[in-house]
């Protein structure tokens, strides 16, 4: 039987629907995982440790960049290279609230100096750190 002829092809949606239904019925028959005996996964534990160490590094970066940001704003620095270098570093730690707060403060300040570059930094932040659900909420709001 050849599936190449148009008259003998199965309808496009039916095959996929049947496969999904079969997978769901198979999943229902699987035994539930035991909550009392969690299995340790060394790969997962390694990832958790890596994330924790990255979080510590991000917090250290925020602590070291806080005085830099405050100084740039207080001095009313207009050196775009200094500001953009700082924004580049802050992008790396804008995923934690303290880092995002510094990033936003410097973007607000820099927006009066170079609005186009500031828009690009905000777009970079959204591309890196915003989740799809956050973007969907912004569109709805």
pLDDT score recorded for residue 46: 84
CA–CA gap between residue 116 and residue 110 (Å, rounded): 10
Backbone angles phi, psi at 122, to 5 degrees: -65, -40
Question: What pLDDT was estimated at residue 21?
Answer: 57
Between 140 and 56, residue with greater pLDDT: 56
pTM for this one?
0.63
Nearest of 18, 93, 30, 87 to residue 58 by alpha carbon: 93
Question: Residue 51's pLDDT band (boundaries 50, 70, 90)?
Answer: confident
Sequential DSSP letters for 51-94: HHHHHHHHHHHHHHHHHHHHHHHHTT---HHHHHHHHHHHHHTT
């Amino acid at each position: 039987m050849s599936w190449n002829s148009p008259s003998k092809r199965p309808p496009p949606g039916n095959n996929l629907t049947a496969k999904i239904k079969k997978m769901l019925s198979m999943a229902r028959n699987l035994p539930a995982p035991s909550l009392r005996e969690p299995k340790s996964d060394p790969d997962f534990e390694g990832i958790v440790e890596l994330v924790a160490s990255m979080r510590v590094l991000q917090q250290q970066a925020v602590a070291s960049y806080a005085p830099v940001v405050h100084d740039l704003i207080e001095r009313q620095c207009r050196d775009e290279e200094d500001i953009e270098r700082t924004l580049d570093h802050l992008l790396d730690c804008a995923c934690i609230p303290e880092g995002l707060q510094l990033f936003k403060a410097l973007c607000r300040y820099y927006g009066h100096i170079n609005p186009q570059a500031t828009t690009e930094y905000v777009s970079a932040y959204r591309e890196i750190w915003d989740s799809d659900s956050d973007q969907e909420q912004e569109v709805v709001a």
